[in-house]
Chain A
């Protein structure tokens, strides 16, 4: 496959995943805004959501006040914010337009319809668009596109590059969301039960659409170790870092088998997966949660760089 096509597919997946992350963060923020204001937590929540999205500075410069309507504009509609849902869907559609030949009609249809609906929403009076509708729409849209990919795309290299894009973006965003809230999960607060903390960990779990799943997997008491374990090391959780890295490794191995080559990206992913499969939560707390997460973000970045160098420059792998 053309290197440029692989690069485009990879980024379509990353943009869609990013749109979904933004939608989740928005949903969490809106939910917190409905809860009683605990120690200024309400204003704080919007701030931490902007932190998690990594766009706090840009937001403050443009909008100033951290109120829902502004955050909504910023994270949903604002095309100047490159990780807003509108920007991500637009970028995904532009990339898709370029690589139409590498996707099925169903996948293109799903992406193109999303783009048209987005244009429609941008023209609609904002009072007609409750936040919950916007976030639900985003989740439904990305699910539809993912479904079209899963259900109709050939399992060839293009599919593997799409999966790689989603999983790399996901590993990165889980690590970032956790990092923003890492202080809630410090071992010192071994029992999380107080009102404020309750919001905080709920925020983390909800931001990753994992609150219910968590309850299924971990019965009984809530503890920071359990939450961190769930989101970092649990193989059953589809948003955990370990799950994502395992997936990345599988996709790279599938590419390697197809091409009959071994690449740096593959070796790097294997090493990272090896580390995560042996790590315990105690190890991670020993290293320092923040330090560990920072290292993960960096390593996922290095891995992404290897993927680019090995497959997307057109040099012999």
Chain B
């Protein structure tokens, strides 16, 4: 049975009490009207999401569901402690594996999982970024299975996206249903861009004197997340640059402005490691800045997230995060991992192959809900095809039990019905670690579906944290 976040049998849970009446009192026509109003607003603001490789309408909208997802203050405080703990451990791990590698020497994490990992950057071994922070924005994907049961599905240490939806969903809800916000004490999320700016400024390189010049580096307006890049730049009041706007001269990075070159101190890059510097990584990259890595390693500029941060959010490393918490922080992990079988291990592989119909199998490096098998939903031929793939390259796959993702009421054709949800909060790590009370709730709009990815028919919801 799935955990329903709103109803406890016939009773309504405390978090959702205010929404019960709201939902009942809303006539069908008003709901349709508001839904189309929301869509028009999104389209006007220009929040669209192009899905890679799908072609079609580049201005596709991610469906927005008006029914908010709610946490009580108590629930949130527990989550917050767990998320911050995890973000600290992940950064400590990164600092360690590019330094003395104590966790490997202690025999906790196998060396080959780190050093042979594609995301491990040999170019930054021995370099310590300002404040020892590698991952400045940690997106931790969580699912809920019971009143107090939360599991971490995966960590995102590079450049987790979606935060613009967290902010815009709230704006739109406030605009459409102001009375809900007057009658309930809903913790605001609007400080996120300011906090992000503060976080980035706090990791300015030592050579930077005076107010740090922070920029956001985007691959360009053809990128599916371009809206988010420009939205954040706008809210933070920083320049949104492309590789062509920057160049290296002397010991610094400069941007081309109408008044001549201006020094850049902190780059929040939304480009993968492989593309940021053609001299150091992929030589065919047109998106990067030749010489950037030299400046970085000599402390002339800070790159956020740090090159190489990806090794911590790999699905093979994921299994070890609870151990990292114990090893680096000497604490018991507050958030649990989903039990995971590594197909690279013979015993695990055997188990996975004999239980395919009940497991979720994922590619180690995959993302976006592609290349995965949801056993209970798959046909026999799909399972057979996937079995062949796993047998061919076992090290490429991990498997997890099919989690009973919690449901949240969602507006559907027939009215309101429970749909499965997950949660991505965004944790900021700089001089301080902060978490805005909220996050991105993704919802699987298809009845019974457990896949919440926007590329696979998922939608988004406003996420509330009720203040005490």
Contacts and interface: CB of A to CB of B under 8 A. Distances in A.
**Interface size band for B:** 20 to 34
Given A101-B234, A316-B260, A4 B242 contact: yes
A100 B231 CA distance: 8
Contact of A315 (B44, B220, B221, B260): B260
B256 to A, nearest CB: 2
Contact of A101 (B46, B233, B257, B259): B233
B338 interface: no
B44 A259 contact: no
Nearest to B242: A4
A292 to B, nearest CB: 32
A254 to B, nearest CB: 12
A109 interface: yes
Contacts of B259: 1, 259, 261, 316-317
Interface string B223-245: 00010001101100001111011
Contact of A314 (B44, B231, B233, B256): B256
A3 interface: yes
A157 B258 contact: yes
Contacts of A6: 258
Interface in B201-222: 220-221
Interface in A67-105: 94, 97-98, 100-101, 105
A126 B220 CA distance: 36
A313 interface: yes
A153 to B, nearest CB: 14
A108 interface: yes
Given A2-B241, A97-B221, A100-B234, A313 B256 contact: yes
Contacts of A100: 46, 230-231, 234
A317 B256 CA distance: 11
A312 interface: yes
Interface string A302-317: 0000000001111111
A298 to B, nearest CB: 25
Interface string A43-58: 0000000000000000
Interface string A281-317: 0000000000000000000000000000001111111
A273 interface: no
Contacts of B221: 94, 97-98
A259 B46 contact: no
Interface string A1-20: 11111100000000000000
Contact of B260 (A108, A112, A157, A314): A314
B335 interface: no
A113 interface: yes
Nearest to A111: B46
A316 B241 CA distance: 18
Interface in B14-59: 43-46
Contacts of B247: 314
25 contacts: A2-B239, A2-B241, A2-B255, A2-B257, A3-B245, A3-B256, A4-B242, A4-B244, A4-B245, A98-B221, A100-B46, A100-B231, A100-B234, A101-B230, A108-B46, A112-B46, A113-B44, A116-B43, A259-B258, A261-B259, A314-B245, A314-B257, A315-B261, A316-B259, A317-B258
The 8 closest A-B pairs by CB, nearest first: A314-B256, A316-B260, A101-B234, A311-B258, A100-B230, A3-B256, A98-B221, A101-B233
